[in-house]
Amino acid sequence: MTDGFSVDLDALRKAASGISTTLDAMATKKVSDIDAPKDAFGHDSLASAVVDFCDRWNIGVSHLATDGAEVSDRLNRCVQSYEAAEKHIQLSAEGILKSSSGTDPGAS
């Protein structure tokens, strides 16, 4: 026999919110902000390496942001599903305890 399980819906909400907050913060700090004109590096190869790094890093950040938004969305949908299931179970249990002639006399 299983002992069942429980889900901390507040923790799921906070996790989703934390991811969204982090993504919002990431949106204000662009990798391109550290990019500089090639002559600022004093060496063409170094400047090219920095440009290549920034380009690749931007791609990685973009993928991370997309994945993070998906995780946040799925956590929020899980909360909604758990809440809907809980409401359904509650209404079903209430329906079982009521008869067509009123409240179940054995419930009191």
Q: Is residue 106 part of a domain?
A: no
Q: Is residue 58 part of a domain?
A: yes
pLDDT at 82: 94
In 3D space, the residue among 26, 21, 9, 8 whose CA is nearest the CA of residue 76 turns out to be: 9
In 3D space, the residue among 48, 49, 54, 51 whose CA is nearest the CA of residue 31 turns out to be: 54
Rounded to two decimals, the pTM is 0.68
* Structural domain range at position 15: 10-93
- As a whole number, the mean pLDDT across the chain is 84
pLDDT score of 78 more than 80: yes
Q: Is residue 1 part of a domain?
A: no
pLDDT band for position 52 (cuts 50, 70, 90): confident
Question: How many distinct structural domains can be found in the chain?
Answer: 1
Q: Is residue 103 part of a domain?
A: no
